Structure 1
Amino acid sequence: MSFSAVEVEEHGGEVELVAQEEMVRGIPAEVSWEMLDKSRFFLLGAALFSGVSAALYPAVVLKTHLQVTPPPQAAVSAAAAAILRRDGPRGFYRGFGASLAGTVPARALYMAALEATKSAVASAALRLGVAEPAATAAASAAGGVSAAVAAQVVWTPVDVVSQRLMVQTATASRYRGGTDAFRKILLADGVRGLYRGFGVSVLTYAPSSAAWWASYATAQRLLWRTVGSAHHESRGAAMAVQGASAAAAGGAAALVTMPLDTVKTRLQVMDAGARAPSLAAAARALVREGGWASCYRGLGPRWASMSLSAATMVTAYEFLKRLSAKEGSL
């Protein structure tokens, strides 16, 4: 978000902050939250991100299988072959219906919290005299934290249900679908069972999201200065810069948060009614099982998934914002 100035205007005793977006040297202006047609934004966003989730879901299933499979069976090719042999191509989409049902509201919460927080923090930082690059990074990081926490309120129960469905097989099926899994988990463990791993999820995704958005904003700024202002009007150049910045940020976030994500997955796929260990106990058990390398089991699919997802999501997201901009705002 590139804000060059903030004006304070008084109208009838009310103070309004007006964030004026313009091109900073070498960086094209961004579409801000205030410029969006919210109805169009959420409607188009639901369609775009549902399609992206469908394309990347098999990598998530493979990553989950690797995280819960004890060594020496935990190999990418072996896990993929086992899923195909046991369940066929459908095995890579187990739990997708439940995941998709939660994706739309979770993404809506994520986008709303992200954009509203970025706008508010950037305006406040600039009023305090913070330099524009620092204000942009701080706003992006704050937006990432609030977005991750807001989304996990919806996403954690969806994650618990979908991951239980991912790791069950056609021959050993405990749940008949997302609704059945939701009901059985709720009956066995109550609401607490649906939010198993919520603390670890927030601990994993809040700092990851903060680092991701801050590094994405910084990387995009640096790349635009390298590309030069002559390419601002090129749709291809814009998508290349956004995609490269997002892929780099996504890959770094996957590497940093992998151990916590592995522990979280282990906790969430435990049988309903089973006593969940503490985060520290689950981490110790994982390390005893296969050493520190076990914390990074499934890193390849997760790194690829997060990098591709980040690049795809961001280019779609930036395109979505321009499609959703109010008439005359660009």
Structure 2
Amino acid sequence: MAKVLESVDQRTQLVGENRLELLLFRINATQLFAINVFKVKEVVKLPKLSALPGSHPSIKGVANIRGTSIPVIDLRAAIGFQPMNSDQEANLIITEYNRSVQGFMVGKVDHIINMTWSDIMPPPKSTGSHNYLTAITKVEVDGATRLVSIIDVEKVLAEIVHYDIAISEGVLDEALVDKMIGRKILIADDSATARRQVKDTLAPLGIEVIETSDGLQALKLLKRWCDEGRDINQEILMLITDAEMPEMDGYRLTYEVRNDKRMANLFITLNTSLSGSFNNAMVEKVGCDRFISKFQPDLLVDVVQERLRTQLPEQVN
């Protein structure tokens, strides 16, 4: 088990090629679930847990992993199933999201699969808005085709950890406050929770957030505007994109935008829960203007203000 992810750092070449690797696991006997390998730090057998009185019901306790205390979330309970029994086989998937480390208690961890984002589909609309999936896909397991549900970890965490959308004192530039009103920003993110966090931060400033749930949707919308003769830089202030999404990831989206002369100068911010130095390298490679990790309202506002200053230098400098 300890070696299942030993080569994860060598896999970053997949990013930007519209490919991903998924770690498959089970939380019950019949269903397969997955999360992106890039968000996984380690997989270990579930160690002894220390109680955490007063914590969220889905937090089973704290694990001590080589001297670091890591909160452990019962993923089965967190997404609406009955909590795992203590006698069940349990493993701990240690992840890093939004600059925090946490462990997810799951059942059997199967293996890693290499896929393209074109193989990943959004969940059916009939599942409603309260499901805990960002996408689904199909894989071959033991000669049979199995459905795999990709967990919306950002939604799980948002229900357990309170995300403060308050903007710190001194962050807002008073010379720019009026300039934000009526501006539009396009966001591409497969997590409804992540889109809501951005919208809840920017909407009180008078900014309209146009939402798309994957890179391909965003690209089609941008191309349609171009085909209609609209000036993209006048239409929207910027594009904010997640890194990993069904249909088309944020790196590929950025590449496609940069290679269409009608919108090549669009200001693009990569806003992702993925961590690691490879993000900064990929930003430079594909041509993003900024990279910020989720979820940081102050940095989000700072990016908006940076863009406004480049558009209106004579008024605000």
More strand per residue: 2
Shared topology, TM-score over 0.5? no
Q: Which has the higher contact order (CA 8 A, sep 6+)?
A: 1
Higher radius of gyration, 1 or 2:
1
Give the TM-score normalised by structure 1. 0.24
Q: Scaled by the length of structure 2, what TM-score is found?
A: 0.25
